[in-house]
Every structure is written in C-alpha cells, then in structure tokens.
Structure 1
Amino acid sequence: MPHPMSHVTLHEHRPAGLGQIDITLAELRGDSARMAPHWVVPPVTAAAPVPPSLIHGVVVSADSARLVGSMPVYGD
C-alpha cells in the first residue's frame, strides 16, 4: 500500500482552464534538492553585547533582585 503522502496535488493561482499540477512526493523532493544549492542563506551574526552603561529605564524590584541573586547560576 503506498504511503498516503506519496502523491501531492498542488493548487496554484493560475489562469482558468490550466487546471492543477500533479506531482509525486519523490518529484517534489527531487526538485527541492536541485534548487537547494541556489538558495542563499545569509550568515548568522551574533549580536554585540550591550554595555551596561547604555541600559536605561530598567527597574527591578528588590524582591526580584534577591531572588535572582540567590540563584547559584546568577548569584556567584
């Protein structure tokens, strides 16, 4: 029994009378594999750290500061 996703029918916005495009999953995967080298992925750049002197307007309650300060990961 074929896999239920082995045949895909794509519905595109096409002029009247041109119908649907029938393509198998294998054909779709093959088309995608051939196109993959043409897709450009921009390099991921890490955001630069912000110096504390530029952080303004952040207010933390004393209770919250104590809570975070008492956590071993942050309090050391």
Structure 2
Amino acid sequence: MTNLEVHAPASADLDGDLASLRGDCARMAPHWTVPDRITALPVPPSLIHGVSVPSKSARLLDAMSDYGD
C-alpha cells in the first residue's frame, strides 16, 4: 500500500476563508435586487380545501401547549 502525502502551498480549505467569502458577497451584492414589498391578502376559508391532517397528528398538536397557556 502506498501512502501518498499531499503538501498544499496554502490552506487545504478549497472554499477559501471568511475574508474571501465576504469579498465574494461584496462583489455579488450589486447583482442582487430587492423586490418591491408584496403584501399577502388573507385567503377566505372557502378557498382552502384539500388539506387533511391524520388524527394522530391532530391529537398530538391539540395536546401540545401553546404560548397562550
């Protein structure tokens, strides 16, 4: 069996370090756009259909306390 040793001239971290990541993000930031604020309107319950919850899951959730207790 041959034991190969690899000596990297720099860190063996192929993804770079935090400074290079921050630099990459800074270079990409001008390419990212912020969408206009979209406000979602409430959906009437009559349009919500096809959702089923297994009885075991419903009982589990019903038995859990919420922050209002």
By the TM > 0.5 criterion, same fold?
A: no
Which fold has the larger relative contact order, with Cα–Cα distance below 8 Å and residues 6 or more apart in sequence? 1
Q: Which TM-score bucket, shorter chain as reference?
A: 0.3 to 0.5
TM-score (ref. length: structure 1): 0.37
TM-score (ref. length: structure 2): 0.40
Greater per-residue strand proportion? 1
